[in-house]
Every structure is written in C-alpha cells, then in structure tokens.
Structure 1
Amino acid sequence: MSRALVVRLDSLGDVVVCGPAVRAVAAGSASTTVLAGPRGAEVARLLPGVDDVEVFDAPWISAGAGPVDPAATAALVDRLRGRFDTALVLTSFHQSALPTALLLRLAGVPRVAAVSTDFPGSLLDVRLPEPADAPEPVRMLAVAAGAGYALPPGDDGRLALVDGLPPVAGLPDRYVVVHPGADAPARSYPPERWRAVVLALAGRGLPVVVTGGPDERALTSVVAADHGVDLGARLTVAELAAVLRGADAVAVGNTGPAHLAAAVGAPVVSLFSPVVPALRWAPHTDHRVILGDQHAACAGSRARVCPLPGHPCLAGVDPADVVEGVARLVGVRA
C-alpha cells in the first residue's frame, strides 16, 4: 500500500470538510499525512485516519502568508522528499493546485492528483474536473474518488473527529454554545445581537458557554457579559471541539467552528452570510437551522467586508429567531 499525502492549505473549516476524503485516502494507504496551513494544522491532527501532519504557510493560498520565501519552500521540499508515493491536492473552487503540485514534483512525489481547470502540463498525473455543486465534504470526497480512493465499508461519509478529546473543566452539566466570531466582517452577526441572544437564552434557563478564538477575547467578553461562561481565547482546537461535542446546540456564524460543531455531532444554528453558497458551505449535518437572507445582493460575492449598507443579510436576523432555532434543536440528539 502507498504512503499518501493529502494537501489542504487554508483554514480550520476547510480542513474539517475534507475529513471524509482523508478517510478514503487512509483506507487505501499504508500511511496518511496531511499537509496543512498554520490555521488548519491543529484540527488536521484530530481527523480520523491521519498519521502525521506537516505545516506550510502557502502564499498562493493564505492571505496573510506574505511574499514567497525561497528558503521556506526549499525546506518544505526537503521535508517531503522521498516520503510519499502519491499525493492528493484538495482545493476550493477558486484556488489553484498547480503551485503545490510543482513543489511536490520537486520533492519527487511520483503520483500527484488534483482538480485543475488550467492545463497542468506534467505537474499532474491525475487531472480531475471540478466536482458538481454539492456540500463541500461531498465535493472533496468526489475528488478523492476520482483519484481512486473510496471510503471503507460502513463509513457513511459524515464529518467526524477522533475520540478522546481533552476534558474541559468548569462547564455546566447541560449547556448551549454561542460562538460569535467569524473570519471576515461580512460573515459576522453584530456583537450586540449576539449579546441579546445570550441574555434571552439565559432567561429561558439554558446555560450558555461563549467560545472564541485567540484574538476574540474582547468580543466574547462583551457577548457573554454576566449571563454566559466566557471561554474566549482560552481553548485549544481540541478543547473547543470537546466543548462543542458536549453542547445541546451551537449558535455560530459561517466560520470554521460551525464545521467543527457538525463534525462532533452538535446541532447547529448557522447565521450564514450568503457571500459563499450555503449549498456548499453550510454545516454538513442533519440537525441544523440556517438563518440569514440567502438571496441578498451580496450572494456569491465572496466579499470579506459587506458591500451593502447596514449588512442586511445578517443584521436583519432577529435575536429571537436565533433563540427559537436553538430551542428547536435542544434535545434532538437525546
């Protein structure tokens, strides 16, 4: 069996939705390594089937990577050389796999597969078409299938993380999670509305845990106020996954932790800005409520900053609707 490398170089949620594809590769390989960006490396280690993780900040993928660093790219090539028989490069529809494929060729990887609408020359052995419109985990699994990898019998293709997540102290026995942060302002529900959601949930007798990333401590403090347990900037990715796994429901924007919640089986209320299509990027779970105007003028724009006055697609969502969505989902896993 081959030694396989699966590449996904962007962020946390992008890596999570590749989980089924990674499991398919692992089922047909002796070992499976994931090459991830800095924002996706932690969660890559939580995907079933992953034996090792390499990290590289690719300037053709990551907006914050800066200019191409010849020393860093040479170091990556040296780390990969001679270790893999095959590589599968997974990308979103707006990204090119070819710069990565070039580095893999320089590292001597003999078989490279990826989607490419551009002519790849000798960079790809398996050139795959862009998969049909579908949820992103389904699309990535289709790419893996095109490269010759199938899920093992009994694997239903759902998002999943490994068992044995670390315990987190100080949580209520039963609780719901509010995760107010998002990677881009265009995907963000206003903080004062999140705060109203927390207040209303607490008023219904639902204990609330507020979570946030390393740079979201000020946001979670405002949102939690005196009515929620504030864990902003206090959790590793594995600990965040454990908190989400224990939640009766999660209210979250269109951001990586929404996919993390789906991967641990938590019901999700998704405040989803249509700058990217919900069909592809809404949390991939049977237990979800999607809020937000999916037909707003910004739909499909991939804008990071809302181009419309007043941010209507999300600012128009009443906090009462978020609370009702959470109430509908509490208990669905019982």
Structure 2
Amino acid sequence: MSLLHLKNILCIRPDNMGDLIMTAPAMRALKESFDAKITVLTSSMAKGIVKHIPEIDDALIFDMPWVKTPDTPDAESINQIVSVIKERSFDAAVIFTVYSQSPLPTAMLAYLAGIPKVLAYCRENPYHLLTDWVPDKEPYTLIEHQVRRDLDLVATIGAFTDNENLYLMVQEELWQLITKKLIETGVDINKPWLILHAGVSERKREYPIRKWADAAQKLISEKGYQILLTGSLDEKPLTDALENIIGEGSFSVAGLFNLDEFVCLVKHAPIMLSVNTGTVHIAAAVGTPVVVLYAQTNPQHTPWNVANKVLQFPVPAHLHSRNEVIVHVNNSLYNKSIDLPSADDILTAMDELLNRPGSPAQPFHEIPNENQAIAAS
C-alpha cells in the first residue's frame, strides 16, 4: 500500500463494543502516522462507545449479515451502505478481524464502493478483493492479543504509535449524577464498593449464578465491600436474582446508568469483577483493575495494559463453536480439564490486585500485562 495520500481512511470493525475499543490503538497508529481522518464502519452494538474514542473522527453504523448482530439487514440495505461508502471517497480501508473471521465479505463492500487500497489479514488468497494482503498465521502458528494483532496489521503499511494503551474519554461531570443515583439506591458512597458485572452476550461465557453469589457474599462479609451488580436493562432480571441470593450489601443497578455514565462509574471503581465481555475493555481503557472470570473462548481478549487477574473456566461441550478454526484452538489450547474458580480464588485474585505496589494511585499505563502475547500450545 502506497503511503502517499492516505488522508481519508475507513477502519472496518463490524463487531461488538469491546472489539472496537481494542482496535483503537491501531486506529491511533494510522491517524498519527498519516495525519489521516479516521472513519469507522461498525455495528449498532458498538455505536454508543464511538464518541468516547478520540481517534475516531466519523462513524458509519451498519449491521452486517456475516457478523452476529440483533437484526439481519436485507439486500437493499447492503446496496445502500455501499453507496454511502462510495460517496465518502476513501483513500484506503483497513478491515480488522479476529482469527476465526474471514475478511472477504467485508472486503466486497470496499471493492464495490471503489476504495482503491484495502488492507486485511486473510487465510486464503483474496485476489482482487485485497490490494494489501497479510497472510493470517493465527491461530496455527501463534496467537497474539487482539490489540497486538491489530497493531501488527497496520504496521505492515508503516503505521506505528508510541502509545499502545486503550483509552476512553470520560465525562467526569457525570459523577455527581452517578453518586446521586447510587445514594438513592441505598449505596453508602463513603464506604468501599466495587462492581460485579455478570452479564454476557453468549451463554457459553456464563459463570454460574450461585458461584457469583458465593464470591459476592464473601466480599461483603470478609472484606466489607458493597457490591454494585451492573448490566444493561435487559440484564436486570439477572442482577435482581443475584441481589436476592446475595442479600444485604448488594445492589442491583442494571439499567440505572446509560453508557456515558457507566464509563464514568467504572473509572471511579477501585476494582471490577466481571466475565470476559466488553466491560473488561472499558475497565482497561479507564485504568480500573479487573478480575476476569474468563470462559475459554477466544484467548486474544484478556485485559490489555491494566492490572488484571484472569481466572479461566471451561465452556460446556454442548456450547462449543462449530467453527473449525475455533475447534483447533479448543483442541490445542484448551485441551486440559480445569475446575471452575471458587469464591476463595476470586478473593485471592482481588486481594493481589488491590494490595499490589502502588495501588491504587499507580498509573495504569505503568502496569505490565502478562497476557499481551499468548503462544498456542
């Protein structure tokens, strides 16, 4: 790809909110290296986080039928988004994927829109659909963190950044409103509290509700924490059920905060306890330490450049993916039986993070992450 005239770049990341957050350092590299305007083409699931990512200048929202999204667009809507892309006269497009995805359906959008330069990883020969093809070695030769994978992709065209951290802009003026809501819910904001985020978008990443409750009860009785059970409005039945089981000291606040408020809430939390979902990447992007109950799905998505502890647990066999690339990862990386992390395991991990040197004032960008590179077994 010629480095000349790359001033108007389309970055395509058509997945979830967490995926877009992890792509931000690569977009930063493009923006800094080429002094380019960055437009993202992303999904309705990621729409809300766009304004918090400073590298993004503009956004197109479209749910692609080859990505798992709430609704399936019809053929005419695909023609419409191609027309919209064509009108923008992009100099280049960069397609970001996980190793189990093919970039080719997305590349066809760029091809039909007449974008002259298109960069992506691809396992098979893309011929005319990609002008800049980077053969995808993952996951058969190695597995890298998603952030590193994306940075390595743009590095092939000479795009680099000295700042590889995740970062979200936080609206600090919302904190007063957030504390008001917490007080009205019964939270004593003058006493210790933390976030427990149990909701997931896929059943295979669910951690058992009874074990969540066991951990929360120990955090309340042994550590004196108040537990904020966060989630979307759709997850309120889950957080209500957890509150009923946990009892005093827990607060179901699912649906209480919009995304802007939630980002600010996470920034002010001393620590987060969650499953592997987008909230983990929000925490990493605002510098909040995080303990992750990590379902053995994609090993690329552990917290990036933030203090963290990852406690893995197995996915039930009947929920395993049929994607052959993921089957290979399961057979090679996740082929040993492991137990579900216990409440004591969770408390130990949280103690280690909260008692680490410099906690809690140590800047998150100075804390190394042990999970940035993952070698496939």
Report the TM-score range of the alignment, normalised by the length of the smaller protein: 0.7 to 0.9
CA distance, structure 2, for counterparts of residue 30 and residue 20 of structure 1: 14
Summarize the alignment of residues 77-156 of structure 1 with structure 2, pairs less than 5 Å apart.
Answer: 77-83=82-88, 84-130=90-136, 132-151=142-161, 154-155=162-163
User: In the TM superposition, what whole-angstrom CA distance separates every residue of 1:135-163 from its partner, at most 9, and x where no partner exists?
Assistant: 11111111111233211xx42x0111124
Q: 2:285 aligns with which of 257, 260, 263?
A: 263
In the alignment, structure 1 residue 289 sits paired with structure 2 residue 309: yes
Partners of 2:275 and 2:292 within 8 A in 1: yes
Deviations 1:20-76 (A, max 9, x none): 11111221243111111111122233212111111111111125443x511111111
Tell me if structure 2 keeps the 8 A contact 1:269–1:291. yes
Counterpart CA distance in 2 for 1:75 and 1:36 is 15
Name the counterpart of 2:350.
Answer: 326
With structure 2 as the length reference, what TM-score do the two structures score? Answer: 0.78
235-244 or 46-55, which deviates more: 235-244
1:315 Cα deviation after fit: 7.0
> SS at the partner of 1:149?
coil
Which residue, 22, 43, 52 being the options, matches 1:17? Answer: 22
Pairwise CA distance, 1:314: 8.4
* Aligned residue number for residue 366 of structure 2: none
Structure 1 residue aligned with 2:234: 215
Partners of 1:273 and 1:292 within 8 A in 2 = yes
Deviation readout 1:77-130 (Å, 9 max, x if unpaired): 122113111110101111111111111122221211111112212111111122
- What's the offset of the Cα at 1:329? 2.0
Residue of 330, 333, 341 corresponding to 1:317: 341
**Post-superposition CA distance 1:278-332 (Å, at most 9, x none):** xx221113411111347x896x95479xx9xxxx978732122212322322262
> What RMSD, in angstroms, separates the aligned Cα atoms of the two structures?
2.6
Q: Which has the larger radius of gyration?
A: 2
Answer yes or no: is the 8 Å Cα contact 2:27–2:55 preserved in 1.
yes
CA distance in 1, matches of 2:304, 2:275: 14
Task: Structure 2 unaligned segments of length 5 or more: list them.
Answer: 1-5, 183-188, 324-329, 331-335, 362-377
Whole-angstrom distance in 2 between the partners of 1:192 and 1:17:
31
The amino acid of 1:234's aligned partner reads L
SS in 1 for 2:129: coil
Aligned-partner SS, 1:10: coil
Query: Residue type matched to 1:90 in 2?
Result: F
The AA in structure 2 aligned to 1:289 is K
The answer to whether 1:44 aligns with 2:50 is yes
Larger mean Cα displacement after TM superposition, 318-327 or 105-114: 318-327
Higher helix share: 2
Q: Matched residues in 1 for 2:157 and 2:194: separation?
A: 40
Unpaired stretches in structure 1, ≥5 consecutive residues: none
CA 1:255/1:314 → structure 2, altered by over 3 Å: closer, same or farther? farther
Q: Percent identity?
A: 27
Deviation, structure 1 residue 234? 2.5
Compare 32-41 and 285-294 and name the one that shifted more. 285-294
Q: Between Structure 1 and Structure 2, how many residues are aligned?
A: 320
Q: Which residue of structure 1 lines up, in the alignment, with residue 61 of structure 2?
A: 55
Give the TM-score normalised by structure 1. 0.87
Distance 1:63 1:55, change over 3 A: closer
2:248 matches 1:238: no
Which whole-Å CA distance do the structure 1 matches of 2:316 and 2:71 have between them? 31
Q: CA deviation at 1:19?
A: 1.4
Amino acid paired to 1:228 = S
